[in-house]
Amino acid sequence: MQLYNTETRRKDTFTPLKSQEATMYCCGPTVYNYAHIGNMRTYIFEDLLARTIRLNMPLKHVMNVTDVGHLVSDGDEGEDKMEVATTREGKSAWEIAKFYEQKFFEDFDALHCTRPTVISRATAHIPEMIALVKTLEEKGYTYRTSDGIYYDTSKFPRYDALVGRSRLEGLRGGARVEMSDEKKNPTDFALWKFSPKDKKRQMEWDSPWGVGFPGWHIECSAMAMKYLGPTVDIHCGGIDHVSVHHTNEIAQSEAATGQQYVRFWVHGEFLVLRAGKMSKSGGTFVTLQTLRDKGYDPLDYRYLCLTAHYRTQLEFTYESLDSARKSLQILRHEAAKAVETAGRQPAALTAALEEAKNRFRAAMEDDLNAPKALATVWEYMRGAELNAAEKVEFLRFVDSILALDLFRAPQPEQSEELPPQVQELLQQRAQARAAKDYKKSDELRAALVAAGYSVKDTPQGQKTEKIK
Ligand code: AMP
Ligand code: ZN
């Protein structure tokens, strides 16, 4: 498999360090709020990567849950996001973490992202983090300020490994402006922060340096190395993590072990809105629930993500989500048609079927080229190279990677051509039924009848017909 490595800045052939199993660490959610669909794009790309690797070898996949220590700015300024949420919601930090972690995994599962082999919460690994800071202290990489224990980045020569020398200089220049007097270098970062003197934190622990909490970066280093050893095959995350979070992870881990920390750094580009960045703090915050409320299925969104390569920005619009939904419906119709035509006849292992699978797989193994893989699927479903039984077999293979539920019964085809106001009423009725609001659902049925359409509820959803 070819995989683009942020560190080498080119596609390299991926082989695992240990022949029996590949290892992958993915930065997980900070559970102080709902995840937005931008976050979920990153988990979908990581899932595609995990599924594709597993075609060739077993994979141990670790993902953390950040439930402490991620400050409002990715530097070391501002409050802990978890503590901010306690003020916002009037709940304890522990309740908040539990609630949003559960919500996160509901979305994660609904998008058919495979659960990682290990899911590790930061708050359950404080001793490992303290031990790692201790090692860094013994090796002379740390210093103390009035608010914590810091990492001295000038002592680590490979600090520019991910961003490159010139960009690092630019970042340093920018950071200098807001740098606290006590930091030695603008890029230095907190390993351990002391609890404030005037306020009791809800999440705090004893340490050799005083009561406090871990820095966000040390969490990932400690958990990745605990479960996967000093050298990890693949480390993933969104592109925003390159210059600070992952750069700091390398510095901490390699200074502590003297070994290479990560062999392949793989970063996903952002999902953006026309209005700009998707952010939890601004008003531009779309969640999977927002899409569900509008009548979309989570897998419509997964399909949309597959239409763009993970290293290109994807602009989110409802028009593109509509067209993803439509494509997915058509593909499910094609699957149903193939199943019906094939009957009980099993597919023979023909050269044509092998070639179809190989072409799909080759696209995925070329740095996860999902758009190309999808185009291959369409080509074979529309073409005559495969007979019906082979098409069924091919789609089974495809769906083991794309995970789009291609054999789910499709919605009745005619609903696509309904007038917009009828579609809107149907969507509202689907929502009302999902919320078990049958009174509203009956009212909406009456509105549909008034608009000239009857509606029947079937296991595949609502079926509409024009009243003659
Ligand atoms: P967070 O919960 O903020 O720590 O982020 C979880 C994951 O989502 C990280 O891998 C981020 O890099 C990634 N991420 C954040 N914003 C976006 C976005 N707009 N598009 C894609 N990925 C994102
Ligand atoms: Zn991380």
Give 143-164 as a DSSP string. Answer: EE-SSEEEE-GGG-GGGGTTT-
Does residue 416 surpass a pLDDT of 90? no
CB 307 within 8 A of CB 374: yes
Counting ligands in written order, which one lies closest to the CA of residue 242?
Answer: 1
**Greater confidence, 171 or 330?**
330
Fold of 2-268: Rossmann fold (3.40.50)
Supply the pLDDT for residue 461: 73
SS3 category, 428: helix
Kindly list the protein residues that place their beta carbon closer than 5 angstroms to ligand 2, a single-atom ion. 27, 220
**Using CA atoms, how far apart are residues 68 and 215, in angstroms rounded to an integer?**
8
> In this predicted model, what pLDDT tens digit does every residue of 232-248 receive, in sequence order?
999 999 999 999 999 99
Supply the pLDDT for residue 372: 98
Is the CA virtual torsion 356, 359, 365, 371 positive or negative?
Answer: negative
Does residue 414 surpass a pLDDT of 60? no
Strand pairing report for 232-238 and 262-268: parallel
Supply the pLDDT for residue 74: 66
> In this predicted model, what pLDDT tens digit does every residue of 450-463 receive, in sequence order?
988 888 887 667 88
pLDDT bracket for residue 173 (50, 70, 90): confident
Counting ligands in written order, which one lies closest to the CA of residue 222?
Answer: 2
Supply the pLDDT for residue 347: 67
Average pLDDT rounded to a whole number, residues 223-228: 98
Average pLDDT rounded to a whole number, residues 398-422: 84
Q: Which amino acid, one-letter code, is at 213?
A: F
In terms of phi and psi (left: phi > 0; alpha: psi -120 to 50; beta: otherwise), the region of 461 is: left
SS3 category, 55: coil
Average pLDDT rounded to a whole number, residues 24-30: 96
CB 235 within 8 A of CB 25: yes
CB 354 within 8 A of CB 394: no
Supply the pLDDT for residue 280: 63
The two three-digit tokens of residue 143, written as one number: 């210093």
Report residue 382 CA to chain centroid gap. 31
Residue whose CA is closest, atom 12 of ligand 1? 238
pLDDT bracket for residue 75 (50, 70, 90): low
Q: Which residue has the tokens 């029996």?
A: 20
Does residue 39 surpass a pLDDT of 80? yes
Find all residues with CB under 8 Å of 458, minimum gap 6, and list them. Answer: none
For ligand 1, pick from 39, 45, 111, 286 the residue to mutate: most ligand atoms within 8 Å of CB.
Answer: 39
Supply the pLDDT for residue 460: 62
Residue 234 pairs with which residues in a beta bridge? Answer: 24, 264
**Using CA atoms, how far apart are residues 324 and 298, in angstroms rounded to an integer?**
11
Does residue 415 surpass a pLDDT of 60? no
Range scoring the smallest mean pLDDT among 139-153, 160-174, 308-322 = 160-174
Number of CB atoms found within 10 A of residue 460's CB? 11
Supply the pLDDT for residue 390: 95
pLDDT bracket for residue 165 (50, 70, 90): confident
Number of CB atoms found within 10 A of residue 193's CB? 24
CB 69 within 8 A of CB 122: yes
Closest CA to 451 of 424, 433, 431, 430: 424
- Using CB distances shorter than 6 Å, the residues near ligand 1 are 27, 29-30, 38-39, 41-42, 237-238, 240-241, 268, 270-271, 278
pLDDT bracket for residue 16 (50, 70, 90): very high
Range scoring the smallest mean pLDDT among 102-111, 115-124, 192-201, 205-214 = 192-201
Counting ligands in written order, which one lies closest to the CA of residue 221?
Answer: 2
pLDDT bracket for residue 413 (50, 70, 90): low
Alpha helices in 118-258 (DSSP H): 126-138, 165-177, 216-228, 247-257
Q: Where are the domains of the chain?
A: 2-268, 288-402, 415-466
Does residue 417 surpass a pLDDT of 80? no
Q: What is the largest CA-CA distance in the chain?
A: 83
In terms of phi and psi (left: phi > 0; alpha: psi -120 to 50; beta: otherwise), the region of 224 is: alpha
Supply the pLDDT for residue 208: 98
**Using CA atoms, how far apart are residues 132 and 126, in angstroms rounded to an integer?**
10
Does residue 295 surpass a pLDDT of 70? yes
> In this predicted model, what pLDDT tens digit does every residue of 5-15 receive, in sequence order?
999 999 999 99
Supply the pLDDT for residue 345: 72
> In this predicted model, what pLDDT tens digit does every residue of 301-354 receive, in sequence order?
999 999 999 999 999 999 999 999 999 999 999 999 999 999 877 767 789 999
**Using CA atoms, how far apart are residues 130 and 212, in angstroms rounded to an integer?**
11
Does residue 430 surpass a pLDDT of 90? no
For the CA of 39, the closest atom of ligand 1 is 8
Q: What percent of the chain has pLDDT over 70?
A: 96
Residue whose CA is closest, atom 7 of ligand 1? 39
**Using CA atoms, how far apart are residues 332 and 409, in angstroms rounded to an integer?**
7
pLDDT bracket for residue 282 (50, 70, 90): low
Q: What percent of the chain has pLDDT over 90?
A: 73
